[in-house]
Structure 1
Amino acid sequence: MTRVQIEIFIGTVLILATSLVVLIYGLNEEGRMAEYELDQHARAIEEGAALFESQCSRCHGTQGMGIPGLCPPLNDRNFFDQRLQDINWSGTMEDYIVATASSGRLMSTRPQVFPGEGTPAMPSFSQSFGGPLREDQVRNIATFILNWEPTAIMVEVPEVPIGETVGTDITKQLPEGDVARGETVANRLVCTACHVSAPTGPAWLATGTEPGIGTRAETRYTQADYQGNAQSPEQYLFESIVQTTAYVVPGYAENLMPPTYGTQLTDQDLADLIAYLLSLK
C-alpha cells in the first residue's frame, strides 16, 4: 500500500471509530438526561426544604401540617385534590404555589379559620414583590411542597368556634375547666408540636429537674423579669395563650406562637386548656 492509501485507511478507521463512539453516547443520552433531571429535581427538593424551614414553617408547621388558628396545612390531601377547584384556579398546582408565595396574600380566603398574620395575611417572598427570595428559590419551595403530594393525608381543619370567642382580657371570668377536654383542645390545636415534640416553645412536661408547666405557672408571674399583667397562675396561662408577646420566656424567640387564639377559642375551650396545663406538674 502506498502512503496515501495508508493515510486514507487510517482516516476511514478513525471516522468509523468516532461514529461508533458518538452512536454509543447517543444511545445512552436519554438515560443520562433522565438521570440528570432526576438529580436536579432532588437538589431542588433539598434546597426547597431548607428554605421552607426558614421561611414558611413558622406559619405552616415544620411538616406542612399547618398551625390551627393561623395558617392552613400544605401537606394535606385536600390541598392537592381540592384547593385549585375551591378558588377556581385554572393553572397548575406548581403555578399556584409559586404565585401565592411570590406575591403573598393581602387577605385570607378563610379568615374565620386561618386569619394569617394580619394585614397582609401572608407576606410576599419573591424579590419581584419586595420579598427576600429569588424566583428560583420560590420555585424550589414549590417543588418541595409538591414532593408531599404522593403521601399527603387528610388533615382535619378546626371548625369555627361555636359561641362567643374568649378575647384577650385576662381578667375575664372563665367557666370551670375540664382537664380531659383541655387535652383534646391542645391536640386539636397541635400545641404539642412546639411544646412537647420539639423545643420550639417552653416544654409543657417535666424534664429532669425542671417541673411541668402547671408548676412553673404558679411562680412565673411573680418573677422579677416577668413583664405581663397576670395576678394568678390561671391569668398567666390565659395571657400566654391570647397575648403571646406580653411576656416571652427567656431563651425563646418572639412571635413564634399564633397571636389569634383569642378569636379562635371559646371561653370553655380556654378554661379547659388552662385546666389541662395546670395539671401538668
Structure 2
Amino acid sequence: MIDSRILIGLFAVLIAISGVVYNGIQDADRRAEFDAAFKARSVEKGAALFTQYCAECHGLHGQGTARAPALNTRQFFENRMKELGFEGGLPAYIKLTIAGGRPVKSDPQWPQNMPTWGIEFGGPLRNDQIDNLVDYIMNWQYEAPDAEALTEVPSDAPPEERGRIIFQETMGCVACHAVNGQGGAVGPDLTQVYNKGEDYIKESVLNPNAVIAEGFAPNIMPQNFGDRLSDQDLNDLVAYFKSLVE
C-alpha cells in the first residue's frame, strides 16, 4: 500500500505543475495581448507619420502618384523582393529605403529621387519612427488591391467624374496641386485653371515646361504624361476643371 504521505506529495507536485502551466498560458495570452496592442499603436503612429512625410508623393493611402510609385498593391507585397533579388525580407527593405532614400533613380518614370529620412543619414526620423512607418505599410498587405485596380476609371461615369478620379487618384495630381483649398502646394492652385482655356490645360499636361506659372520652378512636374494619358483622359481632365468653375 502506498504511503499516504507519498500520495499527498504527488498530489502537491501535480497541483504545482498545473499552476505553472496555467500561469504560463496566462502569461502567453497577456504577452499576445500586449504585442497586439503595441503593434496597433505602432500602426497608428505610422499612419500619422505617413500622412506627414510620405503621402505627398506616394498618395494618402499608398496608391501612388505621378511623383512616386504605389506601395499599397498586391504586386508590391508579393513581387517586389523577387524583382530586386533582395533576401532580407520586405520589412527590412522598406526600412532601409525609408532611412537611406533612393539617391539613384531606378526608373525614369519618377521625376525625382527619394530623399533620405533616417536621422543617421541627415533626415528627420528616428529609428522607432521608421519602424512605425514600416508597420503601417506592412499593415496594408492583407487587403492590398491589384495595381490595375488603382488605374481603372469607370467608363460609364460622367466625363467630369472620370477627370476627378484621374486628378485625385489615378495620377495623384492633387499631391502637388490644390483645388478648392484641398491638395498640395508644389504646383499652382488649379481651381480656376479652366478660365485659361482648354488648350492651355492640355499643353500644360503634355508639355509642363511650355509655360511656367509665376513663383514656381521648371522641371518639377513629370514630363511623361503624354505617354500615360489618352486623348479621352485629357478631355476628362478638362471636363473636371470646367466643372470647378460652373
Whole-angstrom distance in 2 between the partners of 1:195 and 1:268: 16
Higher helix share: 2
2:83 aligned partner: 86
Distance change (3 Å), C-alpha of 1:37 and 1:268:
closer
Distance change (3 Å), C-alpha of 1:41 and 1:274:
closer
- TM-score w.r.t. length of structure 2: 0.68
Structure 1 vs Structure 2: percent identity of aligned residues? 26
Q: What's the CA shift for 1:235? A: 2.4
SS of the residue 1:246 aligns to: coil
Distance change (3 Å), C-alpha of 1:26 and 1:181:
closer
1:128 aligned partner: 120
1:155 aligned partner: 147
Unpaired stretches in structure 2, ≥5 consecutive residues: 1-12, 152-156, 182-189
Distance change (3 Å), C-alpha of 1:38 and 1:278:
closer
Q: What's the CA shift for 1:274? A: 5.9
Distance change (3 Å), C-alpha of 1:271 and 1:51:
closer
SS of the residue 1:156 aligns to: helix
1:53 aligned partner: 51
Distance change (3 Å), C-alpha of 1:247 and 1:77:
farther
Question: What letter matches 1:259 in structure 2?
Answer: M
Whole-angstrom distance in 1 between the partners of 2:225 and 2:149: 13
1:235 aligned partner: 200
Whole-angstrom distance in 2 between the partners of 1:268 and 1:95: 38
Whole-angstrom distance in 2 between the partners of 1:75 and 1:218: 32
- For residues 212-262 of structure 1, give each alpha carbon's deviation from its aligned partner in whole angstroms, at most 9, with x where no partner exists: x79x3465x6xxxxxxxxxx56326644882597257xxxxx89xx711x3
**Partners of 1:240 and 1:246 within 8 A in 2:** no
Q: What's the CA shift for 1:64? A: 0.4
Q: 1:39 aligns with which of 30, 37, 56?
A: 37
User: Please, what is the CA RMSD of the aligned residues?
Assistant: 4.0
Q: 1:98 aligns with which of 74, 95, 98?
A: 95
Distance change (3 Å), C-alpha of 1:152 and 1:64:
same
SS of the residue 1:152 aligns to: coil
- Superposition pairs of residues 267-278 of structure 1, within 5 angstroms: 269=231, 272=235, 275-277=238-240
**Partners of 1:240 and 1:247 within 8 A in 2:** no
Distance change (3 Å), C-alpha of 1:47 and 1:268:
closer
**Partners of 2:46 and 2:129 within 8 A in 1:** yes
1:263 aligned partner: 224
Between the two proteins, the alignment pairs up a number of residues equal to: 207
Distance change (3 Å), C-alpha of 1:155 and 1:27:
closer
Residue 246 (1) aligns with residue 213 (2): yes
- For residues 153-202 of structure 1, give each alpha carbon's deviation from its aligned partner in whole angstroms, at most 9, with x where no partner exists: 1123999xxxxxxxxxxxxxxxxxxxx99869846x83134789x9x721
Distance change (3 Å), C-alpha of 1:139 and 1:245:
farther
Residue 201 (1) aligns with residue 201 (2): no
1:4 aligned partner: none
Whole-angstrom distance in 2 between the partners of 1:65 and 1:44: 21
Distance change (3 Å), C-alpha of 1:157 and 1:151:
closer
Residue 73 (1) aligns with residue 70 (2): yes
Q: What's the CA shift for 1:95? A: 0.2
Distance change (3 Å), C-alpha of 1:218 and 1:158:
closer
Q: What's the CA shift for 1:52? A: 0.5
Distance change (3 Å), C-alpha of 1:105 and 1:217:
closer
**Partners of 1:45 and 1:140 within 8 A in 2:** yes
**Partners of 1:238 and 1:274 within 8 A in 2:** no
- TM-score w.r.t. length of structure 1: 0.60
Q: What's the CA shift for 1:110? A: 2.0
Q: What's the CA shift for 1:265? A: 1.8
